[in-house]
Structure 1
Amino acid sequence: MERECIVIGIHGLANKPPADEKTRWWKAAIAEGIARNQGIAAPEFSFDFVYWADLRYDAPLSEDGNHEPYRPYDGTGPLPGGEKAPALTTKDVMAPVYAAIDAVEEATGVTLADDAILEHRFDDLWHYHAEQDFTRQVRSRLVERLRAFRSHRILLVAHSMGAVIAYDVLRTLERDDPSLRVDHLVTAASPLGLAKVKLKFEAEHGPLRVPNNVLAWTNLADGEDVVAIMGALDKDYAANDVGIGIKDQRVVNAFRRPDGEPNPHKSYGYLRTPEFSSLVSPYAIRRHEAVQAAEHS
């Protein structure tokens, strides 16, 4: 019997709107991308969301305080894919500079540059590395959700700092719960190339590699997204014990705020890219086919 499918999302840095609203917006962005890029009208798929902003912030973002709400893209038809990315992006300019810094930091274990970046720009991630209670609570939410759907085919999509949490959890679960499997891990806007992050992983889990409980891993990065400054991860993370490596894909995150300013890091933009739609649509198609079969049985 075919296993049911589930898409599980986990958000990244900074405060968020209320959990129910954020959940609806992620699902709406995924559905919009499938409809526009894959031509599947009103796609049906099961979705669950790991929300952890409440562990760091006293109250969620209010409607007035949220300057980046979900809004459908204008127009119709497919959205731009990675082949439409500019030949030279911010990341293309910055990545070689950071790569030199990264090499020194990894070799020496002294991560002054990354410490400054994390503490002053990505303070949630800094607290995640520094505060054990916060770390434990965040991880436990993802562990609980993965275990709740262990009988399903799981596509886990982790945005920004969510990718750090997902990697830690999966490497831990491969030891503590080795029968649990994730069919596809998708990281988007990932900071997994930062030397500080890699050194933390190595200290806790050993050599960097794809977790053994992951059957596929795709990493999506926009060339203007400085959080994912290193872009490709396949050279940093070795294949797992059965030879599964990371597939890196450049995408175009076309998200714009209501005032028209672009934000190439925004989750909704990644969730609507043609590259992500092609990965998630089989889960929606299977769900849609299962509903149709049930209706005609």
Structure 2
Amino acid sequence: MTVPGGEPATFVYVHGAGNKPPEAELKLAWDHDLFQRDMGARSRMVYYADTLHDRPAAIAVDACAADGALEALVADAMAGEFPLRDASAGPSPVEAGADAQSFALSLTISMAARAASPAGSLPVAATQPGTTASAALLPLPGPLRRFLLEQLLRTFVPDAEAYFFTGARGRIQDRLRGALDAVEGPVVVVAHSLGTVVAYDVLGEERFAGADIPLFVTLGSPLGYTEIQDVVARPLRVPAPVRLWANFADPFDLVTLDTTLADDFRGSANRIADVQVDNRSPSNHAACGYLRTAAVRGAASAATGERPAAPGPEPPTG
């Protein structure tokens, strides 16, 4: 994958839902995961976790290692970052080896879909990795899907509920607007999970129509879900300043059961590249797992005009 050359681009990262380590540490972790070195002023992190959480999380564990993922889940449980479940409800996120945020978001959307289905459950095809949005369309009208999504997000993914349905949305978006305003020249936006929604909403604003965004990278994005499409900027279309939208999804990532976006967004012809990758984190959703894949590293390196770095030791990441 190549990106038109010219002036060196600045990389702007947008993290996903959940508490995060301090901004500088998280930015450095993404630098190492993606480029295997500190990118200095060539990259910056759009950090909004502090608008939703009282204190930063630790970065002492690696979400891409099985033991680290378990430690992170236990730490989140101790801090009350996600609700503990009764054993009678079935396997817990820890027992399933799933990342707390991906488990919660997938459960939320799946519950919404099942509740809205006349038969009480989705067709088998709609629950399989790689299913298309059309296979999982809900029969209920948009306002009712929106209400159901809000109630479930409030319980399971409060960060996402805060973004979609409270005043936090504007504050979070302002972080990205400020980062884009502060950069002169081309910008490559790299976003993960909920961050892909934030980036999509902001890049579609008229004020950025003339910005130079040669590459928009989305990792583990939930934008393929009808329920999420109900609550993002409409109409669904490739943001005007984006020359190429590279969407990376692991077919076993619980947040990206619909792995394709080109079939949902207007103006996608030759502008959205849907790429399936193998996210080797225990949850198949962690940002570090996506950033370390050869395809994502290759796209980022192409945007810098450099060759991807040879694999090396992987630092702790958040």
State the TM-score, normalized to the length of structure 2: 0.68
* Displacement after TM superposition at 1:100 (Å): 4.7
* CA–CA distance in structure 1, aligned partners of residues 161 and 224 of structure 2: 15
Give the one of 259, 269, 293 matched to 1:273: 293
Q: 1:31 and 2:5 equivalent?
A: no
* CA–CA distance in structure 1, aligned partners of residues 295 and 247 of structure 2: 10
Q: 1:8 and 2:12 equivalent?
A: yes
Count of aligned positions: 243
* CA–CA distance in structure 1, aligned partners of residues 12 and 19 of structure 2: 19
Instruction: Name the residue aligned to 1:77.
Output: none
Q: 1:137 and 2:177 equivalent?
A: no
* CA–CA distance in structure 2, aligned partners of residues 265 and 194 of structure 1: 16
Give the conservation status (yes or no) of the 8 Å contact 1:208–1:237.
yes
Question: What is the alpha-carbon root mean square deviation over aligned residues?
Answer: 2.9
Q: 1:179 and 2:188 equivalent?
A: no
Give the conservation status (yes or no) of the 8 Å contact 1:190–1:228.
yes
Give the conservation status (yes or no) of the 8 Å contact 1:54–1:60.
yes
Instruction: Name the residue aligned to 2:194.
Output: 161
Deviations 1:41-69 (A, max 9, x none): x6967211111100000001135xx6545
Instruction: Name the residue aligned to 2:22.
Output: 18
Deviations 1:194-223 (A, max 9, x none): 22321122xxx4321101111110111011
Q: 1:234 and 2:262 equivalent?
A: yes
* Displacement after TM superposition at 1:91 (Å): 8.4
* CA–CA distance in structure 1, aligned partners of residues 154 and 136 of structure 2: 17
Deviations 1:111-168 (A, max 9, x none): 1664455333322111111112x1111111101111211x322111010000010011
* CA–CA distance in structure 1, aligned partners of residues 185 and 213 of structure 2: 9
Give the one of 41, 52, 55 matched to 1:59: 55
Give the one of 158, 161, 170 matched to 2:203: 170
* Partner secondary structure for residue 277 of structure 1: helix
* CA–CA distance in structure 1, aligned partners of residues 247 and 182 of structure 2: 25
* Partner secondary structure for residue 227 of structure 1: coil
Give the one of 37, 40, 44 matched to 1:48: 44
| CA gap 1:91/1:60 in 2 versus in 1, 3 angstroms | farther
Give the conservation status (yes or no) of the 8 Å contact 1:184–1:215.
yes
Structure 1: gaps (5+ residues): 33-41, 72-89, 256-261, 289-297
* Partner secondary structure for residue 175 of structure 2: helix
Give the conservation status (yes or no) of the 8 Å contact 1:217–1:247.
yes
Identity of aligned residues (%): 27
Give the one of 234, 241, 244 matched to 1:206: 234
State the TM-score, normalized to the length of structure 1: 0.73
| CA gap 1:109/1:130 in 2 versus in 1, 3 angstroms | closer
* CA–CA distance in structure 1, aligned partners of residues 213 and 228 of structure 2: 22
* Partner secondary structure for residue 242 of structure 2: coil
* CA–CA distance in structure 2, aligned partners of residues 209 and 159 of structure 1: 19
Structure 2: gaps (5+ residues): 66-124, 309-318
* Partner secondary structure for residue 218 of structure 2: strand
Give the conservation status (yes or no) of the 8 Å contact 1:91–1:224.
no
| CA gap 1:56/1:43 in 2 versus in 1, 3 angstroms | closer
Give the conservation status (yes or no) of the 8 Å contact 1:158–1:188.
yes
Q: 1:250 and 2:285 equivalent?
A: no
> Which amino acid in structure 1 is aligned with residue 161 of structure 2?
W
* CA–CA distance in structure 2, aligned partners of residues 91 and 221 of structure 1: 16
* CA–CA distance in structure 2, aligned partners of residues 70 and 152 of structure 1: 33
Give the conservation status (yes or no) of the 8 Å contact 1:187–1:218.
yes
